[in-house]
Each structure stands twice: as C-alpha cells, then as structure tokens.
Amino acid sequence: MATFTNDPTLPAPSFPGSHMVVDDHYVFISGLTVDDLSNGHSAQGDVKEETRLVMRALSRMLEMEGGSLADIVRVDIHLTDLHNIQELDSVYAEYFEPGRYPARTCTESPTICGGSSVEITVMAKRQLPATQ
C-alpha cells in the first residue's frame, strides 16, 4: 500500500500533492526546485548551484526512506533553457557512478514554478528489508 508523505524539513507543498509517495517497490519524489528549499533562493539563476542543491535534497529524501541516489531508476529534468544542459550535466554526473546513470528525460520548460531554472523529479527502487 502506498504512503503519501511530506519531507518535514521542506515547506509544505503549495500544490495539491505530496513530496513523496512510497509503495512496496518504489519511491516517487515530486519535482523539486530550489524554490522548494528553504536555503535555495540565493542560488536561483545559477544552474550548477541549483542542480547541486536539488540533488543533495533528493539524496537526503531517499536516505529518509533507507535508500540512496544509486537506487534511482528514472529522472525527469526541466530546464528553463536547454542551452544550459552542459552546466546541469557537469554537476548531475557527479552524483552517480559512471556508466550507471538512470533513464532520463530532459525538457525545456520556459517557466518553472517559483522562478527556478531547474526542476528534477525522480523514481527510485525501494530498498526492502532482507527477509529472515
């Protein structure tokens, strides 16, 4: 059965949704931007720093569920300008083992909620406790 939760370290979503939905097999994390982070506003407009802060927050959220970034199987990324994809990729790649990158979609979305330049959504395989 799925559980619908909000990360207590983040402001409550301003939309009708949850930060995370966890079922028996996966962790789904809603699109996250620096606007969603209490410390992210000063990074707006710096694609590398926005990416870094969002990836750190995603890592922490997955750790709350007993997982890590290595468990991510799918990523959706929205950039306000696809010309900045190399800046994003230079930081994004640091968070994964080379050659073990999740499936990914990256689209240009000229307007991202809150004025951010980067939004990242993930789906991760859930780490289940070992059976005894």
CATH topology of domain 3-8+17-125: 60s Ribosomal Protein L30; Chain: A; (3.30.1330)
Cα 93 to Cα 41: distance, rounded to the nearest angstrom: 23
Task: Spell out, as residue ranges, where the chain has pLDDT lower than 70.
Answer: 38-42, 129-132
Res 114: pLDDT: 84
| pLDDT value at residue 122 | 98
**3, 25, 51 from 30: Cα distances, Å:** 14, 17, 15
Assessment of whether the complete model's pTM goes beyond 0.75: yes
Specify the pLDDT at position 63. 94
